[in-house]
Chain A
Amino acid sequence: MNTATKAAAANKKKMDDLTVGLCALVVVSSGLTVATPFWPAQLGNAPQLGVVLLAAAVAVFSAIHSLHWWRALDEAAKEAHKWAWWWGGNLGLVVGGAGVVAATLMGLDVNLLPAFVQRSDAALVATGVLGVFAAQAVGYGLAWCGWWMARR
């Protein structure tokens, strides 16, 4: 086993350990049904402590997992992602943003809100932001595929 293969194996083990840790935390968190202490009153009723702990753990897990995932990629794969992030993401942002602005200026009343969300200005703005994020994601995906297709 050469150095690069050893490094990849070590990286994979770290990711596996993290996954096992997260699974253990899911079990522990499911038992913590007490209300979260020090919860700000203006945010409404305090959720269960287990839920808050699990949400925080998932955020930390995602960040660390992403770091290891990125380190495990080879240089061409990293280049593809960087290229897709810049070109695909930015073009998607421009196209998606233009679409939202155009829809607003034309007064289009397209209701993309899910049934359980009450219609409000904040909800509509959030929908627009999510729409632009989605356009960015599509641009990213297309650019990523294009980068690899061009190098086949």
Chain B
Amino acid sequence: MTSEFVNRLKVCRAERNWTQADLAEQLGVSRQTVQALEKGRYDPSLPLAFRIARLFGRPIEAIFVQ
């Protein structure tokens, strides 16, 4: 169930002092989805990965690391 990627989503969110609910609202997804993403138990689609990268102003590879 664990993803083959490591992601820095939780770190990026913490840097902005956002809650999971804040991030979920910004991304247009549910809080449960953010939780699954942060725990690496769900891999986002490419469009969602791009939305995440754009939101944090970083390239995708800076957030999702193989």
Binding site for B on A (CB under 8 A): 2-5, 7-8, 74-77, 79, 148, 150-152
Contact = CB atoms under 8 A, between A and B. Distances in A.
A152 B34 CA distance: 10
Among A7, A75, A150, chain B packs the most CB atoms within 10 A around the CB of: A75
Contact of A77 (B25, B30, B37): B30
A148 B30 CA distance: 12
Given A76-B36, A150-B1, A4 B28 contact: yes
A148 B32 contact: yes
6 contacts: A4-B27, A7-B28, A75-B29, A75-B33, A75-B48, A151-B41
Interface residues on B, range: 10 to 19
Nearest to B25: A5
Contact of A74 (B1, B29, B39): B29
Contacts of A3: 28
Name the 9 nearest CB pairs between A and B, nearest first: A4-B28, A74-B29, A151-B36, A76-B33, A151-B41, A150-B1, A74-B33, A75-B45, A76-B42
B28 A8 contact: yes
Contacts of B42: 76, 79, 151
Interface of B: 1, 25-30, 32-33, 35-37, 39, 41-42, 44-45, 48, 51
A71 to B, nearest CB: 12
Contacts of A74: 28-30, 33
Contacts of A79: 42
A79 B30 CA distance: 13
B46 to A, nearest CB: 11
A20 B39 CA distance: 41
Contacts of A77: 30, 32-33
Contacts of A4: 26-29, 51
Nearest to A2: B26
B32 A76 contact: yes
